[in-house]
Structure 1
Amino acid sequence: MEVEAALESFHSLRLADIMPRFENMPVVTADSDLMSVLKILRTRHHVWVVESREEPRLLGLIRYFDVIDVLLPPEAHRFKLGMTGKTMKSILGGATRAADIAEKHVLTIEEDATVLDALMKMRKYRIQVLAVVSEGKLVGEVSLRILIDELLRLLRVGGAQWKQ
C-alpha cells in the first residue's frame, strides 16, 4: 500500500470506527467535585463534563491548562473594567463543581463525520481535540493523538513506506 492510498483510506475513515469507547474517556458529571477533576487531569489533557452518565448530554470541557485559572486567587483575574468570568472559575472565587469551571463552548463533530472532516475543523479552530456527539450527547472523542495512532496503524498494516 502506497502512502497516498493509506492517506486516502485514513481521510475517509468514519470517526465512529476509530474513537475510544465512552467508558474509556475522561468524563465527569456536572456535580463532580474539583478534586475528582484534578485527579483525572494528573494523567489526561482534558476532561469532558456531562449531565450524568445515564444522560451524557455534553455540558463542557476542562483542559489541563485551564487548571491555572482554578488555582489562582480571584484577584488575579481582575482587570480595569471589573471582574471576569474566570474569577468564578477559581476555587477561592467559589468554584466547587466540574460545571463551575468547564468551558461551555465546546467544538463538536458528529460521529458519522470522517477523519478529514475532523482534521479540517481542528486546523480551522487550532485545537487538538473534538467532542464526538450524537443528538447532543457525548459518544466519543477524537484527538490529534488518536488520529496519529490510527494513521500509524494503517501504515503498518498496509506496509506503506515513506519515500523521501
Structure 2
Amino acid sequence: MDLERALNAFHSMRVKQITPPLAQMPVVEENSAIIDVMKILRTRHHVWVVNNKEDMKLVGVIRYLDVIDILLPPRRARLGTISSLFKSIMGGAEKARDVMERNVLTIEEDATVLEALEKMKKYRVGILALVDCEGRLKGEISLRLLITEFLRLIRMGGEEWRQQHGSSLQSD
C-alpha cells in the first residue's frame, strides 16, 4: 500500500470506527463530587461530564489543568471577565457542574477522520467528543488514537511498503 492510498483510506474512515468503548472513557455525571473527578484526573487528561448516565447528554468537560483553579483559593473577579472564583473548592465549588467547561468541542459520530483532523487543527485541540444528533456522548477521538490507527494501517500495508518508503515510518 503506498502512502497516498494509506492516507486516503485513513481520511475516509469514520471516527466512530476507531473510538474506544464508552465504558473505557472518563465520564462523570454533572452532580458528581469534585473529589471523584480529581480521582479520575490523576491518570487522565480530561473527564467528560454528562447530565446522567442514562441519558448521556454531554454537558461539559473538565481538563487536567482545570484542577489548578479547583485547588487555588478564589481570586477576586475583574469586571467583564469570567472568574475562576466559583471553580475553587474554597469558593464553594462542590460538584462537577461547578467546575466544568460548558463549551465542549464535539464532532458528529459519523464524521470522517479528515473532518476530525481539520477541526483539531482549526481549534488547536488534541481531543474531540463524539456525539449523536441529540448531543449524547458516544465516544471520543484523540490525536493519539488517530496516530495509532494510521500506524496500524501502514503496518497492514505489508513489508514491501516499508522497503519502498524507508524505515522512517516503520511501526513501533
Note if contact 2:14-2:110 (Cα within 8 Å) is conserved in structure 1. Answer: yes
- Name the structure, 1 or 2, with higher relative contact order (CA <8 Å, separation 6+): 1
Matched, 1:87 2:85: yes
Equivalent-residue separation in structure 2 for 1:55 and 1:26 (angstroms): 16
Secondary structure of the structure 2 residue equivalent to 1:132: strand
Unaligned segments of structure 2, at least 5 residues:
none
User: Which structure has the greater CA radius of gyration?
Assistant: 2
Post-superposition offset of 1:158 = 1.6
Amino acid of the structure 1 residue aligned with 2:140: E
User: What one-letter code is carried by the residue in structure 2 that aligns with 1:90?
Assistant: S
CA RMSD of aligned residues (A): 1.5
Q: Distance in 1 between matches of 2:113 and 2:138?
A: 16
Aligned partners of 1:72, 1:120: CA distance in 2, in Å? 35
Q: How many residues align?
A: 162
What is the TM-score of this pair, normalised by structure 1?
A: 0.93
Residues 30-45 of structure 1: pairs in structure 2 closer than 5 A: 30-45=30-45
TM-score by length of 2: 0.89
In structure 1, the residue matched to 2:109 is 111
Q: Answer whether contact 2:77 2:83 (CA < 8 A) is retained.
A: no
Structure 1 unaligned segments of length 5 or more: list them. none
CA distance in 2, matches of 1:107, 1:80: 27
Which of 122, 125, 128 is the aligned partner of 1:124?
A: 122
Q: Which amino acid aligns with 1:55?
A: D
Q: Which piece of structure 1 moves more, 55-64 or 151-160? A: 151-160
Distance 1:97-1:79 versus aligned 2 partners, 3 A rule: closer
Q: Percent identity?
A: 57
Judged with a 3 Å threshold, the aligned counterparts in structure 2 of structure 1 residues 79 and 89 are, in CA distance, closer, same or farther, namely closer
Q: How far off is 1:124 after superposition?
A: 0.3
Q: Which letter maps to 2:141?
A: V
